[in-house]
Chains A and B, each alone.
Chain A
Amino acid sequence: MATRILRTLVPMLVAVAAGALVLVLVVREVAPHSWSGTAFATATPAPPFTGLTDDAGNPADLAAQEGKVVVVYFGYTSCPDVCPLTLSRAARAIDALGDRGDDVQLYMVSVDPARDTLDRLGEYLRHFDDRFVGLGGDVDTVADVAASYGVFFEVQPPDDTGFYEVDHTATLLGIDRDGNLKVIWDPDIEADPLQSDLEELLG
């Protein structure tokens, strides 16, 4: 009797275990990338850079970047802390991609149009990576584009020396090769997880 039960039970258990193993392998194969940022499942076209100018003096054209992964950041060249840190990490992440990094275009939109000339923007960004491009525009134009990316900025009162800071949202925003806004990264994201997410965007 016990032998009959064993003869039935053992193959059944082996089959269930094998089924579970197959399932695990299948799930691992098709498992989605574990994003370090907040990812969107639906394809939502990234807002255009209407009215902005790049640091070479040309009208900014996000649509022309289709086929590349685009990272958008809103910051300013006099930013004392968060901007240089975030840009440094982004530069490291893109550098770690090797040749594939050429397919990633980072734009920083200046939230300080009063001080950030296009020349100054370009010079500042080249310190991080010579592929980074700055975008500028008047305050209202930048505010409209910033709002569409979920970004605010607000000029703070100057100190005794006349220096002022600009409070701003410091998230990085990732756009996939098809021009869809795909992921939002917190400003404190480290280079390694950012690189991993960029690799996923590159496909």
Chain B
Amino acid sequence: MWIGGVIGGAALAFAILQPIKVLPRIRVAPGYALTDQAGESFTSESARGSVTLYSFAPLDCDSRCDEIFSTITEVRERAETEVDLGEAEFRVVTIALADAPDPSALAAAATASGADGDEWRWLGGSADRVRTVVGAGFRNFFEIEGDGTVEFEPGYALVDGAGVIRGEYRYRTVADDADKIVSQLGSLGVELRHSGGAAGLAYEAAHLFSCYG
């Protein structure tokens, strides 16, 4: 009888706690101070408090970028109706894989991609700085060749308001990138909305016990 009670209590607790799924805190996102398409400084601190989807693209890009930009556009549209991030804003930042581009070149690339300059910004900096941020920080491969052409692997990173990478999308899988990103944005939204009080403790526990889903 006593054992039955213990098992019953444990089953009840499992039934309550099991559905808590969180996106992993992968690692700290790189810090940066870059320039946007309006020529203004934009830093990792400017993005603090917002959930930010990062992408990386050359200024003069081929069909690979068409897919990146259409994915971002779809994510932005669907996020408006399908995702509730609570008080956090959703932003998109595309870091230009180029060496110290002029703001006018950034602006042209931004316009071509559909970026509005506010919720979706293009950022640029020196090749060394971009290498540190994109290559070492976001761990996204790219190479600027001597003739200015850029080899790169399309990829995205989802960063929370605390500056922690919560999702990385580097390799194409069966699932569509936009589906994956919107789904994970939704999970992050649930976590953000429940991050206070007793429920917040349960979500923190879920992180520490690695109940990732």
Please give the residue numbers on chain A whose beta carbons come within 8 Å of chain B beta carbons, in ascending order: 11-12, 14-20, 22-23, 27, 31-32, 34-35, 38-42, 44, 140, 143-144, 146-154, 167, 169, 171, 173, 181, 184
B interface residues with partner A (beta carbon < 8 Å) = 1-2, 4-10, 13, 24-33, 41, 43-45, 128-129, 132-133, 136-137, 162-164, 201, 204-205, 207-210
Question: In the complex, are the beta carbons of A19 and B10 less than 8 A apart?
Answer: yes
CA distance in complex: A22, B10 (Å): 9
A17 with B32: CB separation less than 8 A: no
A114 to B207, CA, bound (A): 41
Q: A169-B31, A181-B28 are in contact. Are A41 and B1 (CB under 8 A)?
A: no
Chain B residues whose C-beta falls within 8 Å of the C-beta of A40 in the assembled complex: 25, 27, 164
Return B131 CB to nearest CB of chain A, in Å: 10
- Residue on B with the closest CB to A181? B28
Q: In the complex, what's the smallest C-beta–C-beta distance from B154 to chain A, in angstroms?
A: 22
A38 touches B25 (CB 8 A): yes
Decide: A17 and B30 in contact? CB cutoff 8 A: no
**Dominant secondary structure of chain A at its interface with chain B:** mixed
**Can you spell out 19 A-B residue pairs with CB atoms less than 8 angstroms apart?**
A12-B5, A15-B2, A18-B6, A19-B8, A20-B5, A20-B9, A23-B10, A40-B164, A41-B207, A41-B210, A44-B27, A140-B128, A143-B132, A147-B31, A147-B132, A152-B33, A153-B33, A169-B45, A184-B164
A152 engages B10 (CB within 8 Å): no
A22, A41, A181, most chain B CB atoms within 10 A: A41
Chain B residue nearest in CB terms to A45: B27
Q: In the complex, which of the residues A31, A35, A40 has the most CB atoms of chain B within 10 Å of its own CB atom?
A: A40
Seed contacts A41-B209, A144-B136; 9 additional CB < 8 Å A-B pairs:
A22-B6, A22-B9, A32-B204, A39-B207, A143-B129, A146-B31, A147-B132, A154-B43, A173-B28
- Is there an interface contact between B28 and A149, defined as CB atoms closer than 8 Å? yes
How far, in Å, is A162 (CB) from chain B's closest CB?
A: 21
Q: Are A39 and B132 in contact (CB under 8 A)?
A: no
Closest to A22 in B: B6
Closest chain A residue, CB of each to CB of B27:
A44
Contact A16 B9 (CB under 8 A): yes
Q: Which residue of A lies closest to B13 (CB)?
A: A23
Using Cβ atoms and an 8 Å threshold, which residues of chain A touch B9? 16, 19-20, 22-23
Q: Does B24 contact A41, Cβ atoms closer than 8 Å?
A: yes
User: How far is it, in angstroms, between the C-alpha of A27 and the C-alpha of B209 when the chains are bound?
Assistant: 13
**Given A32-B204, A39-B208, A143-B129, are A148 and B137 neighbors across the interface (CB < 8 Å)?**
yes
CB contacts (< 8 Å) of A14 on chain B: these are 5
Set of chain B residues within 8 Å of A15, measured between Cβ atoms: 1-2, 4-5
Cα of A34 to Cα of B62 in the assembled complex, Å: 48
Minimum distance in angstroms from A112 CB to a CB of chain B = 14
CB of A152 within 8 A of CB of B24, answer: no
CA of A98 to CA of B109 in the docked complex: distance in angstroms? Answer: 57
Given contacts A38-B164, A143-B129, A147-B137, contact A154 B31 (CB under 8 A): no
- Residue in B10, B28, B30, B205 whose beta carbon sits within 8 Å of that of A32 in the complex: B205
Residues of B within 8 A of A18 (CB): 2, 5-6
Q: Do residues A23 and B136 form an inter-chain contact, with CB atoms below 8 A? A: no
Asked if A34 and B201 sit within 8 Å, CB to CB, the answer is: yes
In the bound complex, residues from chain B placing their C-beta under 8 Å from that of A181 are 27-28
Residues of B within 8 A of A22 (CB): 6, 9
CA of A31 to CA of B201, assembled, Å = 10
Question: Do the beta carbons of A148 and B201 come within 8 Å of each other?
Answer: no
- In the complex, are the beta carbons of A148 and B30 less than 8 A apart? yes
Asked if residues B31 and A152 are in contact (CB atoms below 8 Å), the reply is yes
Say whether, besides A12-B1, A15-B2, A19-B5, A150 and B44 are in contact (CB < 8 Å).
yes
Least CB separation from A74: chain B residue: B31
A148, B132: Cα distance in complex, Å: 8
